[in-house]
Every structure is written in C-alpha cells, then in structure tokens.
Amino acid sequence: MLSVIQTPAVTIVRQPATIVLDGQRQTYGPGETIFDEGRPADRIYQLISGALHTSRILRDGRRQIEAFHFAGDVFGLESGQTYRAAAQTLGPAQVRVMPRPALEALASQSGDVARRLLELTTDSLRRCQDHVLMLGRRTACERVAALLLDLAERTGAEALLDVPMTRQDMADYLGLTIETVSRTFTQFQHDGLIALPTTRKVLLRDRAALEAMVD
C-alpha cells in the first residue's frame, strides 16, 4: 500500500521512496545556468522535467562534469555555504525551488524528512564513489558502457534511450576526449551492441554484453 507523509512544504512517498519539494516553479531553456559555482547555497532544487549537469571549471579552463540529473532528482544540497559546482540545463527544464533554511527547519522538526535527506545525500555519495572508480580504473569502452547503463536505469528505459547530453558532455563526465567517445560509439555500433537511430537516441541491442563489460 502506498504511504504518503506530508509536511507544509515536503511530501515523502514511501513506495517508491522519494521526496517532493513544494516550492516555486521555474522554467529554463537549453544551456541555461541555474546556479554558479561559488555562489551562496541558499536554495535547494528539484528537477520536475528535463535534464541537467553539475560541473566545475579547472584552473586550466577544462570542464569536469560531476553528475547528470534527471526528473525527480534533488540537487543543490551542500554541506557548506556555497555551491561547489555550477548547474546547467541540457535542454528545456522545469525545477522547483525551496529556500535552504526552510528545508533545514523541516528536517529538524520531522524525522521522516531528515531520514529522506540523509538517503539522498548517501545516494549522491555512492554515485560520486562510482564516478571516481570509473575515472580511475575503467577503460574508455567500460566508461561509455557504464554511462549508457546508468542512463537506462535512471530514466527507466528498457532499450531505446533518449540521450539529453552531447558527446562533449559525455567526454567531460567520463574524463575522455570527444574523439574517443565518438570512436567508442562507432565501435559499439560495429560490434552490434548498440544502434544509433539519431545523435540523441541510442538503442541498446545487447544490454547483457554491456553489463558484462562493466561488471
């Protein structure tokens, strides 16, 4: 049975476990910045629709994408007073915005809200750890396969993926060059692992083989 707990500004749905922020809705176009690295982290966001990435600019000007976010994801949770990364949309997107002090006050009053925020933080940490492992130990083919499988899992796609990010976005997330990412896609297509109906769609033709590649 579906169990729902409501507070004045947050709804927690137990099955599946999720949290819904009740904040002001804002709409963004493709490539728009929601917040910049180093700005005061005074708001918490939840993606209603669309996709985005969080990234940092290195001293030499290179970009490192830290994470991709999809509908339902909460982002902008920080332990410090400023955002450690910038958030930018990958296409048209809509978000909910909630003042950070309001959410912190709710968490101090409601154990359910506090526990769900801890789960969100823990899940984010797990993804960061997986990302570090990917960058440090996996080959280019393994990295691209892992990204495709993660995209399928997080969007609920069975075989045909809508890919919101560009090849350059993938390269900046995977720690590869755009040429390497493109060659890997071509190799996967040649080997019958995927098909590419368009540049923004990927058909997983042999998901089991991709999974075996990253296990």
Euclidean distance between CA atoms 137 and 196, whole angstroms:
27
With bands split at pLDDT 50, 70 and 90, how would you rate the model's confidence at 190? very high
Which of 108, 135, 162 is where one domain is finished? 135
191 — pLDDT class (breaks 50, 70, 90): very high
End-of-domain residue from the set 135, 152, 169 = 135
| Residues 122 and 145 placed together within one structural domain of the fold | no
- By residue range, what is the domain housing residue 58? 4-135
Q: Are residues 54 and 117 in the same domain?
A: yes
Radius of gyration of the chain (CA): 18
The CATH number covering residue 170 comes to 1.10.10.10
Structural domain count of the chain? 2
User: Residue 37, Cβ neighbours under 10 Å: how many?
Assistant: 15
- Looking at the structure, tell me whether residues 73 and 8 fall in a common domain: yes
Nearest to 148 by CA among 70, 203, 69: 203
Angle 20-201-123 (CA atoms, 0-180°, nearest 5)?
A: 35
Report, as an integer, the average pLDDT of 127-135: 79
Choosing from 135, 169, 198, the residue where a domain stops is 135
Are 102 and 204 part of one and the same domain?
no
Confidence of residue 15 (pLDDT cuts 50, 70, 90): very low
The predicted model gives 36-41 an average pLDDT of: 95
